[in-house]
Structure 1
Amino acid sequence: MKLNLKRPIVFFDLETTGTNIISDRIVEISYLKVMPNDEKEIKTRRINPEIPIPKEASDIHGITNEDVKNALPFKAIAKLLASQIEGCDLAGYNSNRFDIPILAEEFLRAGIDVDWTKQKFVDVQTIFHKKEPRTLLAALKFYCNRDLENAHSAAEDAKATYEVLKAQLDKYPDLQNDIIFLSNYSSFNKKNVDFAGRIVYNEKKQELFNFGKYKGLLVEEVLREDPSYYNWIMQGNFSLYTKKVFTNIKLRQAFGNK
């Protein structure tokens, strides 16, 4: 089934030094951009993570320190990459919980402030797990009746994710061929304000702490009553994107009515 698109959507996959969103880095990114007229563009780029790639990670994706020693670091390509996904929705496999958050961290480290609120995210894994709880390998076999060759290659995984989503739309009549619907359906947690879920919305769309001693309390009230807590967060082991969200709330509180 051809995707019903109102604007381009980018199916992407990352290979990284590990699974820690805060401390690990991207070593390869592949994306398949699908246009509303069904034209496609695919690109793959190796990235120097500027930290060692552990053997455990290399054993999974096959990318070694030697492979990326002459590659550009993320900060050198960040501006170009941001322009390539600007105005596009994003899709991936387990992307809402991993690929999007780690990509957001890399952009912030590079000084690029992407406005993620303007994009819709479709997580094909979430759709798959709601319908047939398995892996990407099994998803491709189940929906497309073919095996995934060269698994853990970012390019192959991105293309496989695209094929699986189209097949899911063919298989399930209740799945609407609409990116907003698919984004909502595959959302890991619609209440999250930041990707890590440290801040969540209540029913009035007000931000609440979702951790620590102030869990369940309004962020604005806590920052007003205990200003030092903001400094503790800024110095703590939180993702850059989470810190950015806290900062935006603090600035809105200070200047929103001026």
Structure 2
Amino acid sequence: MQHQLKLKKPLAFFDLETTGINVQRDRIVEICIAKANIDGTVSVKTRRVNPGIPIPLESSLIHGIYDADVKDEPSFKQIAKSLAQFIEGCDLAGFNSNRFDVPMLVEEFLRNDVEFDMKNRRLIDAQRIFHLMEPRNLTAAYKFYCGKVLEGAHGAEADTLATLEVLNAQVQHYEGVTIKNDKGEEYEPVKNDMEALHEITSSKIVDFAQRLAYNKEGVEIINFGKHAGKPVAQVLKDEPSYYDWMMKGDFPLDTKRKLTEIKLRNFNNK
């Protein structure tokens, strides 16, 4: 493979598959690096990694890598130095890499005492360019779905009427169109039915600030801080003072209301 990028130093594109999305707790299970060299050539290295912790089923269903697939692979510690050497002097690139892949990779290097200097590296995230050049705002949606320029954007009436036109056009555009879910099963997400549209756009919301969330089993969990990922009811049971801390804290009233609902539901107003 060749590339036409104008480079002053190599640009290492990389992608990680991991046990999850928590930079502190989760670990890498696969890494691919495609190093775009100054001469136009590309060097590719792909390596599976034994994370040293179990891979949750929900993660395996996304990337297709299970515990058995990595049990005989080296740990990150064993490959860290050679990886760091391979991308020595490279800028880094990826898709959504600045928010996830770069922080995760840096954390793994630090965790294994491998010096990985970020000071002189440029970071290039193709997703940011995509979102910049192909905006996903109402004006762009109106142009895409309705084929018209939105006059008076950011005026309440113009935006409201445009949104009605956009949703109407989306339903016509996508009804009968199938996509695949995480398990590879085909389904039709968009139907001319408000219950179905609610299901794909809002059914996973616990509180609007997203301090609380649902896990894969549909159980409400804490979505921030030291208890991130733990069921709300379990946290309130193990640490009753946590409820008072949140109720007195700088959290939206909606979040406090939802927390109280969960508390009352699980502890019968005790």
TM-score (norm 1): 0.51
| Counterpart mapping for 1:56-67 below 5 A | 56-67=58-69
| Counterpart mapping for 1:1-258 below 5 A | 2-133=4-135
Q: CA offsets, 1:170-203, max 9 Å, x none?
A: xxxxxxxxxxxxxxxxxxxxxxxxxxxxxxxxxx
The 2-side partners of 1:22 and 1:125 are apart by 23
- Code of the residue aligned with 2:31 in structure 1: it is I
Aligned-pair RMSD on alpha carbons?
1.7
- Code of the residue aligned with 2:134 in structure 1: it is E
- Code of the residue aligned with 2:25 in structure 1: it is S
Are residues 109 and 35 of structure 1, via their aligned partners in 2, closer, same or farther at CA, if it must alter by over 3 Å? same
The 2-side partners of 1:99 and 1:105 are apart by 10
The 2-side partners of 1:29 and 1:115 are apart by 19
The 1-side partners of 2:116 and 2:71 are apart by 27
The 1-side partners of 2:135 and 2:76 are apart by 34
The 1-side partners of 2:135 and 2:30 are apart by 27
Gaps of 5+ in 2: 137-181, 183-270
How far is the alpha carbon of 1:132 from its aligned partner?
1.6
User: Partner of 1:27: helix, strand, or coil?
Assistant: strand
Gaps of 5+ in 1: 135-151, 153-258
The 2-side partners of 1:89 and 1:117 are apart by 10
The structure having more radius of gyration, on CA atoms, is: 2
The 2-side partners of 1:115 and 1:123 are apart by 19
User: Partner of 2:119: helix, strand, or coil?
Assistant: helix
TM-score (norm 2): 0.49
How far is the alpha carbon of 1:133 from its aligned partner?
4.5
Partner of 2:245 in structure 1? none
How far is the alpha carbon of 1:43 from its aligned partner?
1.1
User: Partner of 1:113: helix, strand, or coil?
Assistant: coil
Tell which has more relative contact order, 1 or 2 (C-alpha 8 A, sep 6+): 1
The 1-side partners of 2:57 and 2:39 are apart by 42
How far is the alpha carbon of 1:39 from its aligned partner?
1.1
How far is the alpha carbon of 1:109 from its aligned partner?
1.0
Give every structure 1 segment of 4 or more consecutive aligned residues whose post-TM-superposition deviation is greater than 6 Å: none
Query: Aligned residues: percent identity?
Result: 56
